[in-house]
Amino acid sequence: MKRGRIYLNGAVHEVTPDGDSRVKLADGRSLDEREVHWLPPVEPGTIFALGLNYADHARELAFKPPETPLVFLKGPNSLVGHRALTPRPASAEYMHYECELAVVIGKTARNVRQEDAYGYIAGYTVANDYAIRDYLENYYRPNLRVKNRDACTPIGPWLVDAADIPDPMDLALSTSVNGKVTQRGTTRDMVFSVPWLVEYLSSIMTLSPGDIILTGTPEGLANVVAGDEVITEIEGIGRLVNTLADDRHPVTSAA
């Protein structure tokens, strides 16, 4: 099942797909997806993000794949929904997208073994974890300005139940900018798999329902500028649309 969250007429509603470009509310109403204000598909808890978790992306940046996970945390204000606008710093010379499989924890997890990990996952969604390369001081630990700016991580539109994704380690990922495909990859190329990450993270701290793991991005990154429409897509999970805006003229949603 696919479920999303929107804000409409002063209230938050859960929605499901109604064809290719419409959503259905619980009361049966059907709306065009452009008529609603999309929220992240879950109320986020702790947000974990992985750096260099695809071997091809590590090589793209002239690094060896890491021997231990490169994990950092993100604030909830960094998340924004489908079809939202993401501010791009006018002073930045290089800002790139990152298509990522996002794993949503479904129940409290502590010291979980890899073989049991999928039982603790509620579902999956699509994330685009933009990075502002100008501000990067250390690839292994991105600082606050690189990955934690408001609305720098679009996520959604759908949370897809874990039971509907037979193998999250065999999904195609892609990104297009203004209609041109610029990034292709597969979750098979992760350095650290989804079950491995659940075991690793839950050995350090308790994972709670709503916690999100952003699992990294494959090679194929490119600079994007204000006005660009960036679409990140993952097989079987969804198509996430985002538009970049000049941060000198902040706005909260795309037209």
CA distances, 116 to each of 4, 111, 165 (Å)? 27, 10, 16
CATH superfamily of 42-246: Fumarylacetoacetase-like, C-terminal domain (3.90.850.10)
Distance CA 212, CA 49 (A): 8
Identify the pLDDT of residue 94: 94
The H-or-E segment that residue 196 falls in is helix 194-204
Q: How far apart are CA 134 and CA 137, in angstroms?
A: 8
Q: What is the model's pTM?
A: 0.94
Task: Enumerate residue ranges in the chain where pLDDT < 70.
Answer: 58, 61-62, 137-144, 249-255
- pLDDT for residue 253: 47
pLDDT value for 255: 40
- Interacting residues of 79 by C-beta distance below 8 A, sequence separation 6+: 40, 44, 47, 151, 153, 154, 155
Domain positions in the chain: 1-39, 42-246
Question: Looking at residue 135, what is its pLDDT?
Answer: 74
pLDDT at 249: 66
CATH number for the segment(s) 1-39: 2.30.30
Measure the CA–CA gap between 34 and 3, rounded to whole angstroms: 17
Contact present, 173 and 188 (Cβ < 8 Å):
no
* Amino acid identity for residue 150 in this structure: D
Domains 1-39 and 42-246 share a fold: no
